[in-house]
């Protein structure tokens, strides 16, 4: 049960003044559903404004506050165009206040012609005019006081404005209680950290690195504790030692000899599986290194030992593909492989559930559906997680409680994860590396080409398809927007279809699953020759005859992601090519990054560079990398503070075993606060 002290924070967001059904949606889009979420919605940055008497005292790009008198409202002829309010300053300079979409209604109300207003925002140039797009504030009087303030800037979504969010945050902060201290007093003193509550308030008020660090540390401490609690729970529940006799593995008729790295890794896994305590091992191996067959060998060991194994894939698409591959490879062994995803319904699903329960299914492949409550196994002893970056603590606990005894876990990833990040994601774990590619792989010829040469590229594709080989076309990533990705892919597909007609198929995340599968199937079987896609094809897809990849607006992708995408080609005997299409104007860093793609195919090196380049950037670094389990802590804070948080968590666990005592109880609060309370549930009385 959540401690009462936290109830005000976990109240629904509607309990804040001004939040009704209309605001609910844009708030949810930002992940803001409860008071707590608002309090933790930290500013992306801060602005300080300068009050100016006239706009010509200010420079372009400057954040200003100025008194203006609206002279004219101009709606655009087309409904999607901007709405402009022309307004005059004291010296008679006219500037435009520009609004898009529904914001124009606000403009009509707030800026009546002939009435003076204080307007705050960023001064920009538009043609020969100065303008402010979506002013941050429009006030009737007293605006001068904004001139010297530092104001937070929050991440917004359509329908929200800075003042709205600022007001909600202020209300949320009023409800934040003082909480007992869970951190080590010595630590707090050394770092000169404020208390948790003060840190939260300060972090919204201005650039307070110590406050930000404190909150990030708290989040990482909570995560570390939860991971340790789940791990301890796992150990208490014991594993199931699995010793295979080799009778199934020897029937595997692989068309290739295993690489040395594969053999070594399989031996490591075999050793772990034979132990009482459950395995927790990460298998890192670059794209194409051959992780699937390692997973199969591991699962066969479980089956030989009379148990079941399950493999979790991140998407439906990958689950189907793994299912096909594993079933084909396992056929000679007689092991029964089945699939279960959210889409299996009715009779087929019932049959699968029965088979799992009576033990006639040996290996199950699927999406998260394989861990639902209704899915019961006769004896699940090994779980393989493929490419799962977002496999958090709660999933781990759920999984651990699936069998009578905690199953062994093998996590596989093509992203070489630096140690601090594995610590964040998994806690303490063993690592195997597939650091040797299967023989005969050719380097992928990578080229960077300006988008102005698009026509040539399309001609190149036509020639490529004529040789009987296939190609991928990956569409630009639109930041934070799946719809945007889809729109881009659809537009490009329409254009390419004009040239390639039925040879081209389109796959994106918003397609109905059946349509997606059908398109993939057409491509995998060679009926379609050109696959136009969003990044849904990023991981795992395996079509050896596809030897050309075009990535549009390549500069928008992270290096690790480009590497993953590129790994879709170069899987067969033919020479493969990857064309990185870049926009005409690129920053120097962007150029360097793309050059690095051309230079190396070493995934580890690319991942390190990627982390370095992404980690350093942002001022406050609220931008998330996507592959960390954190909401507050950024990459820089992770590398600096996580090791400390982790060892503090260990001390706390050891000293107050089971989180008893004053600090232990405070730490329980912390776990609830950061929603790592699954950890608490492993404790007696939790
Ligand atoms: P990943 O590590 O990216 O998951 P896969 O398991 O999909 O890689 O393997 C990539 C390709 O390499 C597959 O077509 C697989 O059959 C093949 N492969 C795996 N191991 C070997 C090997 N030892 N020798 C040759 N080919 C191999
Ligand atoms: Mg794979």
Q: What is the mean pLDDT of residues 470-493?
A: 81
For residues 333 and 254, the answer to whether their CB atoms sit within 8 Å is no
What integer pLDDT is reported at residue 509 of this predicted model?
A: 79
What integer pLDDT is reported at residue 388 of this predicted model?
A: 63
Q: Whose CA is nearest to atom 17 of ligand 1?
A: 290
pLDDT tens-digit profile of 657-666? 668 888 889 9
Nearest ligand for residue 387 CA: 2
Domain count of the fold of the chain: 4
In whole angstroms, give the CA distance from residue 223 to residue 643.
12
Ligand 1 within 6 A of CB of 287: yes
pLDDT tens-digit profile of 218-248? 999 999 999 898 888 877 777 799 999 999 9
Nearest ligand for residue 292 CA: 1
In whole angstroms, give the CA distance from residue 265 to residue 298.
10
Task: Give the residue carrying structure tokens 């007689």.
Answer: 334
In whole angstroms, give the CA distance from residue 494 to residue 237.
55
The model's confidence at residue 639, banded by pLDDT at 50, 70 and 90, is confident
Q: What are phi and psi of 402, to 5 degrees?
A: -70, -45
Does 389 score more than 70 pLDDT?
no
Helix, strand, or coil (residue 116): coil
What integer pLDDT is reported at residue 194 of this predicted model?
A: 96
Residues 477 and 586 in one domain: yes
230 belongs to a structural domain: no
Testing ligand 1's pocket by substitution, the residue of 254, 438, 564 carrying the most ligand atoms inside 8 A of its CB is 438
Residues 335 and 401 in one domain: yes
In whole angstroms, give the CA distance from residue 554 to residue 322.
28
DSSP 298-328: HHHHHHHTT-EEEEE-SSHHHHHHHHHHHHH
Testing ligand 1's pocket by substitution, the residue of 253, 290, 293, 442 carrying the most ligand atoms inside 8 A of its CB is 290
Q: What is the mean pLDDT of residues 478-486?
A: 66
List Cβ neighbours of 424 (8 Å cut-off, separation of 6 or more). 220, 223, 628, 629, 630, 638, 642
| CATH number where 268 lies | 3.40.50.300
281: enclosing H helix or E strand: strand 280-285
Does 479 score more than 80 pLDDT?
no
Closest to 216 measured CA to CA, from 669, 611, 615, 644 = 644
Nearest ligand for residue 564 CA: 1
Ligand 1 within 6 A of CB of 563: no
Determine the Cα angle at 186 with ends 183 and 189, to 5°: 95
Ligand 1 within 6 A of CB of 58: no
Nearest ligand for residue 290 CA: 1
Residues 414 and 266 in one domain: yes
Q: What per-residue string of b and e applies to 393-405 under the rule 16 or more CB within 10 Å gives b?
A: bbbbbebbbbbeb
Residues 64 and 38 in one domain: no
pLDDT tens-digit profile of 305-355? 999 999 998 878 788 889 999 999 999 999 999 999 988 889 999 999 999
Q: 203-207, 305-309, 485-489, 498-502: which has the minimum mean pLDDT?
A: 485-489
Ligand 1 within 6 A of CB of 438: yes
145 belongs to a structural domain: yes
Distance from the CA of 553 to the center of ligand 2, in angstroms? 25
**578 beta partners:** 446, 549
**66 beta partners:** 119
Query: How would you write 383-415 as a 3-class SS string?
Result: EEEECCCCCCHHHHHHHHCCCCCCCEEEEEECC
Q: Whose CA is nearest to atom 16 of ligand 1?
A: 290
In whole angstroms, give the CA distance from residue 166 to residue 194.
22
| CATH number where 94 lies | 2.40.50.140
Intra-chain end-to-end CA distance of the chain, in Å: 7
Q: Chain-centre distance of CA 315, in angstroms?
A: 14
Q: Is 524 left (phi over 0), alpha (psi -120 to 50) or beta?
A: alpha
Distance from the CA of 13 to the center of ligand 1, in angstroms? 49
Residue 197: CB atoms within 10 Å: 14
**What sign does the CA torsion over 648, 42, 4, 2 have?**
negative
Nearest ligand for residue 288 CA: 1
Q: What are phi and psi of 201, to 5 degrees?
A: -65, -45
Does 399 score more than 90 pLDDT?
no
* Most distant CA atoms of the chain, gap in Å: 91
- As given in the structure block, the two tokens for residue 318 are 């990958």
What integer pLDDT is reported at residue 623 of this predicted model?
A: 37
Does 53 score more than 70 pLDDT?
yes
Ligand 1 within 6 A of CB of 384: no
Q: Chain-centre distance of CA 143, in angstroms?
A: 40
Residues 278 and 310 in one domain: yes
190 belongs to a structural domain: no
- As given in the structure block, the two tokens for residue 183 are 């951190």
Determine the Cα angle at 35 with ends 34 and 40, to 5°: 100
Residues 514 and 464 in one domain: yes
Distance from the CA of 539 to the center of ligand 2, in angstroms? 7
Domain boundary among 406, 434, 462: 434
DSSP 221-271: HHHHHHHHHHHHHHHHH--------STTGGG---SSPPPHHHHHHHHHHHH
Does 617 score more than 60 pLDDT?
no
123: enclosing H helix or E strand: strand 117-126
Determine the Cα angle at 336 with ends 335 and 340, to 5°: 140
The model's confidence at residue 618, banded by pLDDT at 50, 70 and 90, is very low
Does 625 score more than 50 pLDDT?
no
pLDDT tens-digit profile of 450-466? 999 999 999 999 999 99
Q: What is the mean pLDDT of residues 160-178?
A: 94
Residues 480 and 423 in one domain: no
Q: What are phi and psi of 409, to 5 degrees?
A: -125, 130
Residues 23 and 102 in one domain: no
- As given in the structure block, the two tokens for residue 434 are 């597939």
Distance from the CA of 341 to the center of ligand 1, in angstroms? 24
The packing angle between helices 454-466 and 482-500, to 10°, is 60
Q: What is the mean pLDDT of residues 204-213?
A: 94
Q: Chain-centre distance of CA 576, in angstroms?
A: 29
Ligand 1 within 6 A of CB of 572: no
- As given in the structure block, the two tokens for residue 652 are 């706390």
Task: Give the residue carrying structure tokens 């930002």.
Answer: 30
Q: What is the mean pLDDT of residues 247-262?
A: 94
Helix, strand, or coil (residue 39): helix
40 belongs to a structural domain: yes
What integer pLDDT is reported at residue 136 of this predicted model?
A: 86
Domain housing 97: 46-153
Q: What is the mean pLDDT of residues 290-316?
A: 94
Q: Whose CA is nearest to atom 18 of ligand 1?
A: 290
Ligand 1 within 6 A of CB of 564: no
Closest to 583 measured CA to CA, from 449, 485, 677, 490 = 449
Residues 273 and 401 in one domain: yes
572 belongs to a structural domain: yes
Mean pLDDT of the chain: 87
**What sign does the CA torsion over 154, 192, 677, 417 have?**
positive
What integer pLDDT is reported at residue 392 of this predicted model?
A: 64
List Cβ neighbours of 627 (8 Å cut-off, separation of 6 or more). 389, 390, 415, 417, 421, 425
51 belongs to a structural domain: yes
Ligand 1 within 6 A of CB of 318: no
Closest to 266 measured CA to CA, from 247, 286, 246, 239 = 246
In whole angstroms, give the CA distance from residue 614 to residue 479.
14
pLDDT tens-digit profile of 67-121? 999 999 999 887 778 899 999 999 999 999 999 887 788 889 999 999 999 999 9
Residue 227: CB atoms within 10 Å: 25
For residues 606 and 563, the answer to whether their CB atoms sit within 8 Å is yes
In whole angstroms, give the CA distance from residue 611 to residue 206.
27
581 belongs to a structural domain: yes
Closest to 231 measured CA to CA, from 1, 373, 393, 418 = 393
570 belongs to a structural domain: yes
List Cβ neighbours of 16 (8 Å cut-off, separation of 6 or more). 35, 38, 168, 171, 172
What integer pLDDT is reported at residue 612 of this predicted model?
A: 67
Residues 297 and 358 in one domain: yes
What integer pLDDT is reported at residue 482 of this predicted model?
A: 64
In whole angstroms, give the CA distance from residue 217 to residue 633.
7
Distance from the CA of 172 to the center of ligand 2, in angstroms? 44
Residues 405 and 278 in one domain: yes
Task: Give the residue carrying structure tokens 């590229």.
Answer: 457
Domain boundary among 434, 455, 477: 434
Closest to 603 measured CA to CA, from 440, 429, 444 = 444
Domain boundary among 553, 569, 600: 600
Residues 381 and 523 in one domain: no
Closest to 55 measured CA to CA, from 148, 130, 141, 135 = 130
Regarding beta strands 470-474 and 546-551, do their DSSP bridges make them parallel or antiparallel, or are they unpaired?
parallel
Give pairs for 602-605: CB < 8 Å, separation 24+. Answer: 602/286, 603/286, 603/287, 603/414, 603/415, 603/416, 603/560, 603/563, 604/286, 604/416
């Amino acid at each position: 049960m959540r401690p009462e002290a936290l109830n005000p924070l976990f109240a629904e967001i509607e309990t804040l003044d001004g939040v009704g059904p209309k605001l609910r949606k844009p708030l949810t889009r930002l992940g803001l559903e409860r008071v707590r979420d608002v309090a933790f919605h930290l500013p992306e940055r801060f602005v300080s404004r300068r009050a100016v008497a006239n706009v010509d005292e200010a420079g372009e790009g400057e954040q200003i506050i100025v008194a203006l008198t609206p002279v004219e409202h101009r709606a655009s002829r087309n409904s999607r165009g901007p709405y402009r309010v022309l307004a005059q300053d004291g010296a008679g300079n006219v500037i435009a206040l520009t609004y898009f979409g529904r914001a124009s209604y606000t403009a009509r109300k707030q800026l009546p012609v002939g009435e003076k207003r204080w307007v705050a925002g960023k001064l920009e140039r538009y043609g020969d005019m100065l303008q402010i797009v979506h002013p941050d504030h429009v006030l009737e009087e007293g605006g001068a006081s904004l001139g010297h303030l530092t104001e937070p800037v929050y991440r917004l979504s359509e329908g929200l404005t800075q003042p709205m969010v600022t007001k909600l945050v202020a209300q949320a902060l009023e409800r934040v209680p003082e909480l007992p201290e869970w951190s080590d007093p010595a630590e707090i003193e050394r770092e000169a950290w404020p208390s948790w509550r003060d840190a939260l308030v300060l972090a919204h008020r201005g650039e307070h690195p110590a406050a930000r660090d404190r909150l990030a540390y708290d989040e990482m401490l909570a995560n570390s504790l939860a991971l340790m609690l789940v791990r301890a729970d796992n150990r208490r529940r014991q594993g199931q030692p699995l010793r295979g006799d080799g009778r199934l593995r020897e029937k595997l008729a692989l068309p290739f000899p295993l690489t040395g790295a594969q053999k070594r890794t399989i031996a490591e896994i075999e050793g772990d599986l034979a132990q009482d305590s459950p395995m927790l091992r990460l298998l890192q191996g670059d794209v194409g290194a051959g992780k699937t067959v390692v997973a199969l060998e591991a699962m066969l060991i479980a089956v030989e030992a009379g148990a079941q194994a399950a493999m979790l894939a991140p998407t439906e698409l990958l689950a189907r593909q793994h299912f096909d591959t594993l079933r084909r490879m396992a056929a000679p062994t007689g092991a029964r492989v089945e699939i279960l995803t959210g889409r299996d319904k009715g009779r087929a699903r019932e049959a699968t559930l029965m088979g799992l329960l009576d033990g006639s299914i040996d290996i199950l492949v699927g999406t998260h559906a394989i861990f639902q409550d209704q899915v019961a196994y006769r004896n699940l002893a090994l779980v393989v997680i493929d490419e799962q970056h977002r496999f958090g603590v709660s999933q781990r606990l759920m999984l651990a409680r699936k069998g009578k005894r905690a199953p062994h876990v093998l996590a596989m990833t093509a992203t070489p994860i630096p140690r601090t990040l594995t610590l964040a994601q998994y806690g303490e774990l063993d690592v195997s590396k597939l650091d040797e590619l299967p023989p005969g792989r050719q380097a992928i010829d990578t080229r960077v080409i300006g988008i102005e040469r698009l026509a040539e590229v399309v001609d190149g594709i036509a020639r490529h398809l004529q040789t009987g080989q296939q190609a991928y076309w990956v569409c630009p990533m639109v930041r934070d927007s799946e719809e945007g990705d889809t729109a881009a892919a659809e537009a490009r597909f329409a254009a390419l279809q004009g040239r390639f007609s039925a040879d081209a198929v389109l796959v994106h995340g918003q397609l109905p699953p059946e349509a997606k599968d059908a398109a993939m199937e057409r491509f995998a079987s060679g009926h379609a020759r050109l696959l136009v896609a969003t990044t849904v094809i990023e991981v795992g897809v395996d079509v050896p005859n596809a030897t050309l990849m075009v990535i549009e607006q390549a500069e928008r992708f992270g290096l690790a992601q480009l590497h993953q995408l590129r790994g879709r080609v170069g899987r067969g005997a033919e020479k493969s090519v990857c064309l990185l299409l870049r926009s005409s104007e690129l920053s120097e860093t962007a150029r360097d990054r793309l050059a690095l793609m051309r230079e190396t195919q070493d995934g580890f090196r690319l991942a390190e560079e990627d982390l370095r380049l992404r980690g350093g950037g942002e001022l406050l670094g609220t931008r998330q990398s996507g592959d960390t389990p954190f909401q507050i802590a950024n990459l820089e804070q992770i590398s600096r503070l996580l090791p400390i948080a982790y060892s503090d968590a260990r001390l706390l666990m050891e000293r107050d075993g089971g989180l008893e005592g004053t600090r232990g109880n405070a730490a329980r609060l912390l776990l609830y606060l950061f929603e790592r309370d699954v950890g608490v549930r492993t404790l007696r009385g939790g």
